[in-house]
Structure 1
């Protein structure tokens, strides 16, 4: 059994491991010069493999895609992923947030151990092979440094990623190839991305790169506690990513969205009014706010931005109005940051195009896994978990299909 895996990221490598264990001859093809480039990027700040929360809560993070991801994640759950990592000599630990990391806290040792295991299982690799479709005889076509190459395979696993960080290999170019073969692909959009804000020059120059810590962010009925970071062009960070689907959809639908920031979410309004009613004395207004309301400089800057947008001076607001503003600072988002810089992407192959074994109904013998599929999830280990789990499912699906054919 010759099986071609296209894509050397987590989903593709996991499919290759499952296929090789099932006795298949596997070649992994990738357009890049080496494997796991986006995985290495994800591990620069600590490789967040998965999350330790109860499985029902974990599955709910996949939102609308949960019914379709439930089976593969239950078949290869977080505990199985942790055991797999341990088997590579990379034991894991649970952080204070419940997130799971390798004890080495980076991706490179895990990837090296994984590639050694795949090499021992006789998995082959063909790098600098960019997939461009099929020829008239049904062979896979690749653009290589030596020209176009045709490759025959008994089954194919596609694991080409989404459309975020294209310089690392996942550029979404496969969408046109599959669409031309009748496969429905949902448009790809940024996920876990930053957003654009028209900051004033003064605010931008002073606070670019500054974190907003311990804030609560609200859009519509959705509120998230955490941190955000001011960028030169807008705002990003963990709490922003957790709301990115709602924020993105609002911006795309209306051209704008208003994000409300509570700078002191645990402070009662009456307490803030009392503190802000105290005499200022000879303090500057900024120092008064810093001490009386325990606000950071960047938080005070946000208040000044909001007051200026309404044509008022922050120092002229009465204590009651100022106390209200402290925990409901409006930030107008004017756009979504580029998909090329997003952590992940939404959209992809619609689940209705797949059977229960992750095979494309219109292309028998062709399976798909990972971020190519139409799902999204917040950061926290959910992205990698689903990529690994669907890679396992696609690999098992291909083996089962070949067994039925023989």
Structure 2
């Protein structure tokens, strides 16, 4: 008889592991507490499904933290080119945008997911929805509860846990697995928000006037790190891709110090000298806001941000420097449920080279459950697919012994 594998979690890590195992000839059942699969993946694709990134692999690998050798090896074994080939095999060839981000041709998740589910069906992978994992019984059997039915024990030859992290609980990643694994003496690092926005003490007038306003192509610096991209102002702070890129360092600095400061370069393509020259022009009867707008091209929200930080310098050179390095104090990260992803999870010290829990033989872990994080831009999904594949290969090797 074929060996039977249970996968808990129908996100990309679980589904890709299911495909890998089924193609290896194993009997695979996937269980998920939500009524349909890949809900977080579908949400991620609303603005365009960013599968991976086209930058060179060495730079790509440098985006992960902690930079655990096992995670990096999994990505090397299943690099961005391989993920793109997989997408193309499902009828979705990819393309790289101007930022280097890689998307399927449809720019959506649903066409890719539909074809993928058909493939899994042809491989005889069974999907069970509305079913919650409740741990293991004393004999090691899997405890599953469908809806409000009684909890039942099920025996499998191996189990893969791919339950996600702790962000977007309504989509299934609720982190309720943490105490279950801790009771089994698995080392689980605290789940924390990643790729999230941060709280800023804006004035009430600023909040009301500029919430939901984008800041296009700004530079952000924090403790020697500098990135350029877009941000978004909201009623209580700032978020967006340029903030997510430095999220981990900012979050950790806030945890350590109770707060931290970033510097905004509101005109990253213009030098201080050129800005100074523009600001030395006669102002005449113009208001300062109009003068700044006409002289520098700054949008209203950026000018308001300058005023939020305090009185504007009167000397042109000082004002130009202010525009290029505007201090902004961040007081706290957003809650984990408002974050795109989470940091923390099962320590790599708690698994073997095949992604099996050393304290629970036959049980493997993949995806965001593991203790790693990466910025948005395709790195998250690449890591999820890569660890799902590695864990599946680990299961196949385990069941052959």
TM range (shorter): over 0.9
**Worse overlay, 273-282 or 128-137:** 273-282
Question: Matched residue of 2:66: which SS?
Answer: helix
User: Which residue does the alignment assign to 2:38?
Assistant: 36
Is 1:88 matched with 2:90? yes
Q: Give the aligned CA root-mean-square deviation in angstroms.
A: 1.1
User: Which residue does the alignment assign to 2:345?
Assistant: 348
Is 1:169 matched with 2:172? yes
Paired residue for 2:55, among 53, 56, 62?
53
In the alignment, is the contact (CA less than 8 A) between 1:27 and 1:124 conserved in 2?
yes
State the shift of 1:56 in Å: 1.2
User: Which residue does the alignment assign to 1:149?
Assistant: 152
Question: Matched residue of 2:309: which SS?
Answer: helix
State the shift of 1:278 in Å: 2.1
State the shift of 1:376 in Å: 0.3
In the alignment, is the contact (CA less than 8 A) between 1:276 and 1:292 conserved in 2?
yes
For structure 2, list consecutive stretches of 5 or more residues without a partner in the other structure.
Answer: none
State the shift of 1:346 in Å: 0.5
2-structure distance, mates of 1:88, 1:102: 10
Deviation string 1:89-118 (CA, Å, 9 cap, x unpaired) is 111111111111000101011111111100
Paired residue for 1:218, among 199, 212, 221?
221
1-structure distance, mates of 2:44, 2:268: 31
User: Which residue does the alignment assign to 2:26?
Assistant: 24
User: Which residue does the alignment assign to 1:310?
Assistant: none
2-structure distance, mates of 1:274, 1:76: 51
2-structure distance, mates of 1:87, 1:335: 43
Paired residue for 2:100, among 98, 101, 104?
98
Paired residue for 2:202, among 196, 199, 202?
199
In the alignment, is the contact (CA less than 8 A) between 1:59 and 1:66 conserved in 2?
no
2-structure distance, mates of 1:57, 1:269: 30
User: Which residue does the alignment assign to 2:321?
Assistant: 324
Is 1:11 matched with 2:10? no
The list of structure 1 runs, each at least 4 consecutive aligned residues, that deviate by more than 3 angstroms after superposition, is none
2-structure distance, mates of 1:76, 1:179: 30
User: Which residue does the alignment assign to 1:263?
Assistant: 266
Question: Matched residue of 2:81: which SS?
Answer: helix
2-structure distance, mates of 1:138, 1:67: 30
2-structure distance, mates of 1:274, 1:26: 67
Is 1:247 matched with 2:244? no
State the shift of 1:201 in Å: 1.2
Question: Matched residue of 1:401: which SS?
Answer: helix
Question: Which structure 2 residues correspond to residues 72-87 of structure 1 after superposition, within 5 A?
Answer: 72-87=74-89
1-structure distance, mates of 2:116, 2:294: 53
State the shift of 1:66 in Å: 4.4
TM-score (norm 2): 0.97
| Paired residue total | 398
2-structure distance, mates of 1:66, 1:289: 47
In the alignment, is the contact (CA less than 8 A) between 1:60 and 1:66 conserved in 2?
no
Question: Matched residue of 1:225: which SS?
Answer: strand
TM-score (norm 1): 0.96
2-structure distance, mates of 1:87, 1:214: 35
Paired residue for 2:284, among 281, 302, 313?
281
Paired residue for 2:188, among 165, 171, 185?
185
In the alignment, is the contact (CA less than 8 A) between 2:68 and 2:348 conserved in 1?
no
2-structure distance, mates of 1:293, 1:176: 54
2-structure distance, mates of 1:374, 1:67: 12
In the alignment, is the contact (CA less than 8 A) between 1:37 and 1:168 conserved in 2?
yes
Question: Which structure 2 residues correspond to residues 297-376 of structure 1 after superposition, within 5 A?
Answer: 297-307=300-310, 313-314=311-312, 317-376=314-373
2-structure distance, mates of 1:343, 1:147: 33
State the shift of 1:68 in Å: 2.1
